[in-house]
């Protein structure tokens, strides 16, 4: 039986590390290790074997724990040649190229049979936001990637690389003041501990994430004007995405 354990870094970056592990065999795989000591303690406590390290991208806060895990647990970083990675029979982790936040960014999709269960999105997609493109990224590629991720089903659970949800929701509210789903999400957040992970699905995201809501009347009214001369739907969406990213960068 596959489990996902989240580790939260209590610093300004608010990183999440995920340990995927199988209760029966004790096999485990880590995504974006930040604090290697916390992971090693957990692995020892539950008598697990670390089969591999997966990194969504090379920013230091996503690979920080690699060296400690490699030397102490004698395991290596798994590249895209390992995709799809069989976790246990019937459960696979598929590597997906997701350029945008960085050009070599990848995400991981946990599949059970033909069903997509979870998306480990790194710094591509966050709860109610997307990653920035300031350190080696490309906003148009992030737009294309986000559209690709939207083709996954509503039931897919999102495991993002950071907890930025509080600020993201306030930004979302500034984009869509009339969106009641954002009000509800802000209210629900008061009783939740984001450090435990929110367990939001892509369906939840589609209701409150402005970067997934480019058809919103309020967003269009705010960010489009006739003199822009945009008549093609793809061009309109790309313009809105760029503009939202720019606004969020300065928010
Ligand atoms: Fe990053």
What tens digit of pLDDT does each residue of 7-48 get? 999 899 999 999 999 999 999 999 999 999 999 999 999 999
pLDDT at 193: 84
Q: How far is CA 61 from the centre of its chain?
A: 14
Angle of helix 180-191 versus helix 165-175 axis, rounded to 10: 160
What's residue 126's pLDDT? 98
The low-confidence residues of the chain, meaning pLDDT below 70, are none
Q: How many domains does the chain have?
A: 1
What SS3 class is residue 80?
Answer: helix
Q: If you measure from the C-alpha of residue 217 to the centroid of ligand 1, how many angstroms do you get, rounded to a whole number?
A: 31
Residue 57 Cα to ligand 1 middle (Å): 7
Q: Ligand 1 centre from 56 Cα, in Å?
A: 9
This model's pTM is above 0.85: yes
The per-residue pLDDT for 73 is 86
Instruction: Please give the residue range of the domain that contains residue 126.
Output: 2-249
Chain centroid offset of residue 236 CA = 25
Do β-strands 91-97 and 27-31 pair in parallel, antiparallel, or remain unpaired? unpaired
Residue 6 CA to ligand 1 center (angstroms) comes to: 18
CATH number at 97 reads: 3.60.15.10
């Amino acid at each position: 039986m596959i489990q996902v354990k989240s580790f939260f870094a209590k610093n300004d970056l608010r990183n999440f590390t995920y340990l995927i592990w199988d209760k029966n065999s004790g096999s485990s795989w880590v995504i974006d290790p930040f604090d290697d000591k916390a992971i090693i303690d957990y692995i020892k406590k539950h008598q697990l074997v670390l089969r591999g390290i997966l990194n969504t991208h090379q920013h230091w806060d996503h690979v920080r724990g690699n060296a400690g895990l490699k030397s102490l647990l004698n395991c290596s970083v798994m590249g895209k040649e390992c995709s799809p990675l069989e976790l246990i029979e019937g459960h696979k982790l598929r590597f997906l190229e997701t350029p945008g936040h960085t050009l070599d960014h990848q995400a991981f999709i946990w599949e059970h049979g033909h069903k997509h269960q979870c998306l480990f999105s790194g710094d591509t997609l966050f709860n109610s936001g997307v990653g920035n493109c300031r350190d080696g990224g490309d906003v148009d590629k992030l737009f294309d990637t986000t559209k690709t991720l939207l083709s996954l089903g509503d039931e897919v659970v999102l495991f993002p690389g950071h907890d930025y949800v509080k600020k993201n929701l306030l930004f979302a509210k500034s984009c869509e003041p009339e969106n009641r789903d954002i009000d509800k999400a802000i209210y629900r957040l008061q009783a939740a501990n984001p450090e435990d992970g929110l367990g939001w699905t892509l369906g939840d995201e589609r209701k409150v994430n402005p970067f997934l809501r480019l058809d919103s009347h309020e967003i269009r009214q705010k960010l489009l004007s006739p003199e822009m001369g945009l008549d093609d739907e793809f061009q309109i969406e790309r313009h809105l995405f760029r503009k939202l990213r720019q606004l969020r960068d300065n928010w």
